[in-house]
Chains A and B, each alone.
Chain A
Amino acid sequence: MMNFDYVRPANVADAIAAASEKGAVYLASGTNLLDLMKGGVSRPSRLVDVTRLPGLDRIERLDDGGLRIGALVRNADLAHDAAFARDYPAIAEALLSGASAQLRNAATVGGNLMQRTRCGYFYDAASACNRRWPGAGCDALEGENRLHAVLGWSEGCIATHPSDFCVPLVALDAVVEIEGRSGRRELPLEALHRLPGDTPDRETALEPGDLIVALRLPAEAQGFAAHARYVKVRERTSYAFAVVSAAAALRIEDGKIREARLALGGVAAKPWRAHAAEQLLAGTAPDAAVYREAARATLAEARPSGDNAFKIELAQRIVVRALTLAAAGTPARIPALPGSPFSSVAGA
């Protein structure tokens, strides 16, 4: 990897100043960044180490009933926080279905939001990739693309976003708090990641120097705790990225779905919120036929970007499964194999 300046700012303002220069990037735990640097995919000239910034490693209950999670909270600490897992079980399950225990111990909440795609052509520095090199082309389009996007892709990029964590977060209306050169602002998580369009290199809505300082969950998000699941299809039982995943959260009252939340992972360049399906589900009785209709609506616009038509079918089935499991009720404890279809049994 290229040599770099290493700076460890004492506060957020210094961090933003240090990171606003060209070639500068933030370093949190580095589980993704160092991997990219070792692969020659990312060659920053300055690392701004934010791991010691004060106050960003807390989980706070807000007066309005919401929850504020500092960007430096470690994935494992969040998932294993008993109150968090009780109130937001699908998020905890998604977190624990990702990566390995070691990586979850290191990786931060903010870093997870910023992780880059696992597209093999993005990682292969010799391949053409519009994300790495705008205008270079996309070698994935005619390449090995059985696991690539089926929603929201463009001719410029067919990569998917690899995060598990972001999938239930986006379903539950998480908000990102950002500090930048022009002060503090907020963004719905759904607006953080961008679809590729003509500018696949612009992966997020962040501007140079922008630092994610916290993630917020609104009070309503807790209302789904009794019926929330994350399901993830993988090519091995653990320690693998999703082929397709889904988070489903339902508020069920008097035998009716009052409100539904649904999002998919592994299908697009961003965690994919299924608004149409949510509207369709609201007010209905939990039922397989309705789930199938919701699944069809979610994938209505889907089209294969290559050798991956099966993902459209698979995504519909996982929507049905996630809704079925959510309706059956959140298990008392996160299953032994988080997110795995083989943990389908409630209480497993």
Chain B
Amino acid sequence: MTPEINLTRDPAHLRHGSSIGQPLTRTDGVLKVTGKARYAADNHPPGMLYAVIATSCIARGRVKSLDVAAAKRHPGVVDVMTPAHKPELAEDPDAKGNPFAFRMELLQSDEVRYANQAIAVVIAETLEAATEGAALLSPRYQVEIARVGLDAGEPYAPPVVGIGNPAEVVHGEIDAGFAAASKLTDATYETPAQYHNAMEPHAIVAVWDGDKLFLDTPSQGMAIAQGRIGGLLGIPPGNIHINSPFLGGGFGSKGLVSGPQMLGIMAARLVGRPVNLVLRRSQMYGPVGHRASTRQRLRLGADDAGVLTVIDHHARITTSSFDDFYEPAADASHTLYASPAIRTAHEAVRVDTGTPLFMRAPGEATGSIALESAIDEMAFACGIDPLDFRLRNYAEVEPTTGKPFSSKALRQCYARGAERFGWARRPLAPRQMRDENGFLVGWGMGTATFPALMFQGNARAVIRADGSGVMESGAHDMGQGAWTALTQISADALGLDLGEITFRSGTSDLPDAGIAGGSAHTATVGAAIHNAGAAVIARLAELATPDERSPLFGAGNAGVVARQGRLHRRDDETRSESYAEILARAGLAEIDASGTGAADPAAQSHYAMHAHGAVFAEVKVDPELGQIRATRLVGAFAAGRIINPRLVQSQLFGGMIWGLSFALHEEAVMDHRSGRILNANLAEYHVPVNADVPPMDVITVDEHDPHVNALGIKGVGEIGITGSAGAVANAVWHATGIRVRRFPIRIEELVTGLS
């Protein structure tokens, strides 16, 4: 069944003019608040078995033995999948067919390359039996010394960082930049490994029917997953049907199909029955990606006027021992601040962890907290207010390329955010403010930015005989609100009211919507929907305008406008005909047309395209005990056209909370000897709880960008983290006078510094 969502009767769904821009509540809201939204692990096909992964407790070495017999003796255990007993794969999971085919552990050998790696899969009639069966395998290992941390080995220059970005970029004369400076700052910042920790653990329910495969599994990119799974199994991608109507959060960790998901498919093949495989929370710290740890040195130079003469941003990053993903941390310095000389460079160290991957604002987030801290340090060194300093170094064109921005309302973001926050009252020096209870108060800010990307996506539009519309696109809703925002775009694309259209999504059986990542999904799929709608309306017009019986006769394609289910002549709006009338006369049950959304290469070569924002944070710090609490966050963002202000506010709030978390909470703690993560849970891997989240304020600044895409959308999924993390860190400095350069800011740094 194709997932589709019909609108509820909530009054907020009433249409007032155009659907785009309306603060509708979520179209999937009722399903989600009633528990009826079906996530992957909620599916129970008849005869389903439970698979549980046994994971390695060593980070490097080999599995010498597994007590398969003991596991099989446990009542309810059906089979144990091991390197010696598993379905054959058509492709080596370690082969690198393309840069997005990351290596995965599918029991191809006895080698262990990180802690929490899959070393066997136990399949049983019940979850309890499979879980205990996995424990009974009692693996024995040949252990090698684990390589842990940023100093684990010789650093090397990676071939590329992020998605094909050069590892080193030099703009202008670096030496001249330093020579021209009258103030220099040189500081090194460290950020820890972080784990996505979506609330929904990775899950798959796999059902084979001959050589057809039916999957319920959360995916941010179903078509890519089909290709990867098909390649590994040697079956056509079209044989693989993925349902992913709701993701319980993704944040990048569900962008590419992961090893555990493949193991669920293999287990189902092995036993010839449907299989459910859900990762335990602790098992999410390894095979499904993470944000790599970084050590970033930032050397800045500025002249007497507080104008930057050089930005030199060097990042050391970790990656896995067996694959290549390089967190593009220093790339944050390419676009944010004007400087005649900018150098960014990366070096990598291989460690025994799972391969780091994309995590919400990959590179931008890690780079942002370091750069925004460094800018704050330089502003203070120059004796200039941090906002004033940023304005003095405002990039009118993209600094490293010289391209004009397609649009950039950052000045308005600074101004409106600062006004809302009350920034003008901020004392320049730190440790000047106390609240009525004696807590230290600090104010900090950061600039937010994220590229406005477009991938490729498709949609199919249908007008039916009754005049209603259908829009189909296999989009992915991981919480950002695709069901709702794309429904709104669909209504406008079809010239129909929201109640007259059906939006179908969330399955690979629909047109490929591309990947939900890079904050580009609404823009990409929105453009596809826009184009599909335009194409189907054009087909309607082609039916009507050559027909003498139609009031639209002779109007020509360009001469009609679609509105509320009717085509009107542009030159005479009183002459119109309904979609239903047009189809009835033509004797058609429905007509359809397809559309594609993709980047415009010409526009991209002419313009730098980014969303921007300014975040202002207030923190309070206990002057003796050092505990920190964020008390106010204000963000002003310019991100092109806003499809649904309610959802956009939520996305930006969420991003800002991630920024807060980056500065104050999140960190995977790894034992430096074993390479095991000691807080692979949600009790000690701290993500913010409700009480950590202060009153927040989001302002969206109007921005009309004719270049980014047909709808002028820039995306808001990731930008909220950038700027926010630095703003909170800078506020802690402003409260205490203590500059902590290792994140998250730990209490001991403040306890030691506050006396």
A positions within 8 Å CB-CB of B: 1-3, 40, 118, 120-121, 123-127, 139, 142-144, 146, 231, 233-241, 243, 310, 313-314, 317-318, 320-321, 337, 340-342, 344-345
Q: Is the CB of A237 within 8 A of B751?
A: no
CA distance A147 to B132 in the complex (A): 32
Chain B residues whose C-beta falls within 8 Å of the C-beta of A340 in the assembled complex: 627
Nearest residue, chain A, Cβ from B141: A126
Chain A residues whose C-beta falls within 8 Å of the C-beta of B669 in the assembled complex: 120, 144
B437 contacts A by Cβ under 8 Å: yes
CA distance A241 to B679 in the complex (A): 13
- Say yes or no: A342-B674 contact (C-beta < 8 A), given A233-B626, A313-B751: no
Closest CB in chain A relative to B521 CB, distance in Å: 31
Nearest residue, chain B, Cβ from A2: B132
Chain A residues whose C-beta falls within 8 Å of the C-beta of B58 in the assembled complex: 126
A interface footprint on B741-752 (CB within 8 Å = 1, 0 otherwise): 000001110011
CA distance A262 to B156 in the complex (A): 55
Nearest residue, chain B, Cβ from A100: B689
Chain A residues whose C-beta falls within 8 Å of the C-beta of B547 in the assembled complex: none
CA distance A142 to B672 in the complex (A): 9
Q: Is the CB of B665 within 8 A of A124?
A: no
Closest CB in chain A relative to B431 CB, distance in Å: 18
Q: Is the CB of A233 within 8 A of B747?
A: yes
Chain A residues whose C-beta falls within 8 Å of the C-beta of B746 in the assembled complex: 146, 235
Q: Is the CB of B673 within 8 A of A143?
A: yes
- Say yes or no: A143-B629 contact (C-beta < 8 A), given A121-B678, A238-B691: no
- Say yes or no: A139-B748 contact (C-beta < 8 A), given A127-B676, A314-B625: no
Chain A residues whose C-beta falls within 8 Å of the C-beta of B751 in the assembled complex: 310, 313-314, 317
Main secondary structure of the interface of A (DSSP, over half): loop
Nearest residue, chain A, Cβ from B57: A126
B692 contacts A by Cβ under 8 Å: yes
B128 contacts A by Cβ under 8 Å: yes
CA distance A236 to B666 in the complex (A): 10
Chain A CB within 10 Å, residue with most, of B673, B678, B683: B678
Option from B75, B665, B752 in Cβ contact (under 8 Å) with A235: B665
CA distance A313 to B747 in the complex (A): 12
Main secondary structure of the interface of B (DSSP, over half): loop
22 contacts between A and B (CB under 8 A): A118-B684, A120-B679, A120-B684, A121-B678, A123-B678, A126-B674, A127-B671, A142-B673, A143-B672, A143-B673, A233-B627, A233-B747, A234-B627, A236-B688, A237-B691, A240-B686, A310-B751, A314-B751, A321-B624, A337-B691, A341-B627, A342-B622
Closest CB in chain A relative to B127 CB, distance in Å: 11
Tell me the B110-133 residues at the A interface (CB within 8 Å): 128, 131-132
- Say yes or no: A314-B691 contact (C-beta < 8 A), given A120-B684, A124-B676, A341-B627: no
B135 contacts A by Cβ under 8 Å: yes
CA distance A318 to B623 in the complex (A): 11
B positions within 8 Å CB-CB of A: 57-58, 75, 128, 131-132, 135, 437, 439, 620, 622, 624-627, 629, 664-665, 669-674, 676, 678-679, 683-684, 686, 688-692, 746-748, 751-752
Chain B residues whose C-beta falls within 8 Å of the C-beta of A120 in the assembled complex: 669, 671, 678-679, 684
Option from A237, A241, A320 in Cβ contact (under 8 Å) with B689: A237
Chain B residues whose C-beta falls within 8 Å of the C-beta of A121 in the assembled complex: 671, 678
Q: Is the CB of B676 within 8 A of A236?
A: no
Option from B131, B670, B692 in Cβ contact (under 8 Å) with A237: B692
Closest CB in chain B relative to A41 CB, distance in Å: 12
CA distance A120 to B683 in the complex (A): 11
Option from B131, B678, B689 in Cβ contact (under 8 Å) with A236: B689
Q: Is the CB of A144 within 8 A of B684?
A: no
- Say yes or no: A1-B686 contact (C-beta < 8 A), given A314-B751, A321-B624: no
CA distance A231 to B625 in the complex (A): 10
Q: Is the CB of A313 within 8 A of B437?
A: no
- Say yes or no: A118-B625 contact (C-beta < 8 A), given A143-B673, A310-B752: no
CA distance A345 to B689 in the complex (A): 22
CA distance A144 to B128 in the complex (A): 32
Chain B residues whose C-beta falls within 8 Å of the C-beta of A118 in the assembled complex: 683-684
Option from A126, A139, A236, A318 in Cβ contact (under 8 Å) with B625: A318
Chain A residues whose C-beta falls within 8 Å of the C-beta of B690 in the assembled complex: 238
Chain A CB within 10 Å, residue with most, of B437, B625, B751: B625
Nearest residue, chain B, Cβ from A99: B683
Q: How many A-B residue pairs have CB under 8 A?
A: 107
Q: Is the CB of A237 within 8 A of B671?
A: no
Q: Is the CB of A127 within 8 A of B629?
A: no
Closest 10 pairs between A and B when the two form their complex, measured CB to CB: A120-B678, A126-B57, A310-B748, A237-B691, A238-B691, A341-B622, A317-B624, A237-B692, A239-B689, A310-B751
Closest CB in chain A relative to B732 CB, distance in Å: 14
Nearest residue, chain B, Cβ from A317: B624
Option from A2, A142, A342, A345 in Cβ contact (under 8 Å) with B627: A342
Chain B residues whose C-beta falls within 8 Å of the C-beta of A123 in the assembled complex: 678
Nearest residue, chain A, Cβ from B667: A235
- Say yes or no: A127-B674 contact (C-beta < 8 A), given A233-B626, A233-B747, A313-B751: yes
Nearest residue, chain A, Cβ from B76: A3
Chain B residues whose C-beta falls within 8 Å of the C-beta of A237 in the assembled complex: 629, 689, 691-692
CA distance A344 to B135 in the complex (A): 47
Q: Is the CB of A143 within 8 A of B671?
A: yes
Chain B residues whose C-beta falls within 8 Å of the C-beta of A142 in the assembled complex: 673
CA distance A318 to B622 in the complex (A): 11
CA distance A240 to B670 in the complex (A): 19
Chain A residues whose C-beta falls within 8 Å of the C-beta of B692 in the assembled complex: 236-238
Closest CB in chain B relative to A328 CB, distance in Å: 12
Chain B residues whose C-beta falls within 8 Å of the C-beta of A243 in the assembled complex: 747
- Say yes or no: A314-B132 contact (C-beta < 8 A), given A233-B747, A239-B689: no
Option from B629, B670, B676, B678 in Cβ contact (under 8 Å) with A342: B629
Q: Is the CB of B437 within 8 A of A344?
A: yes
Chain A CB within 10 Å, residue with most, of B128, B620, B671, B683: B671
Chain B residues whose C-beta falls within 8 Å of the C-beta of A240 in the assembled complex: 683, 686
Chain A CB within 10 Å, residue with most, of B624, B688, B746: B624
CA distance A238 to B688 in the complex (A): 9
Chain B residues whose C-beta falls within 8 Å of the C-beta of A139 in the assembled complex: 671, 673-674
Q: Is the CB of A238 within 8 A of B747?
A: no
Chain A residues whose C-beta falls within 8 Å of the C-beta of B691 in the assembled complex: 236-239, 337
Closest CB in chain B relative to A2 CB, distance in Å: 6
Nearest residue, chain A, Cβ from B679: A120
Option from B437, B684, B747 in Cβ contact (under 8 Å) with A314: B747
- Knowing that A143-B678, A237-B692, A344-B437 are A-B contacts, what are 12 other residue pairs whose CB atoms are under 8 Å apart, sorted by A's residue number? A1-B132, A2-B132, A120-B669, A124-B671, A127-B676, A143-B672, A146-B746, A243-B747, A310-B752, A317-B624, A321-B625, A342-B629
Q: Is the CB of A1 within 8 A of B128?
A: yes
CA distance A146 to B749 in the complex (A): 12
- Say yes or no: A310-B673 contact (C-beta < 8 A), given A3-B132, A240-B686, A342-B627: no
Chain A residues whose C-beta falls within 8 Å of the C-beta of B75 in the assembled complex: 3
- Say yes or no: A40-B625 contact (C-beta < 8 A), given A1-B128, A146-B748, A235-B747: no
Chain A residues whose C-beta falls within 8 Å of the C-beta of B57 in the assembled complex: 125-126
Nearest residue, chain A, Cβ from B438: A344
Chain A residues whose C-beta falls within 8 Å of the C-beta of B135 in the assembled complex: 1-2, 40
Option from B625, B673, B674, B689 in Cβ contact (under 8 Å) with A238: B689
Chain B residues whose C-beta falls within 8 Å of the C-beta of A317 in the assembled complex: 624-625, 751
Nearest residue, chain B, Cβ from A313: B751
CA distance A118 to B679 in the complex (A): 10
Nearest residue, chain B, Cβ from A243: B747
CA distance A2 to B135 in the complex (A): 9
Q: Is the CB of A342 within 8 A of B689?
A: no
Closest CB in chain A relative to B668 CB, distance in Å: 11
Q: Is the CB of A235 within 8 A of B625?
A: no
Closest CB in chain A relative to B662 CB, distance in Å: 14
Closest CB in chain B relative to A47 CB, distance in Å: 14
Q: Is the CB of B665 within 8 A of A236?
A: yes
Q: Is the CB of B688 within 8 A of A233?
A: no
- Say yes or no: A310-B439 contact (C-beta < 8 A), given A121-B678, A320-B624: no
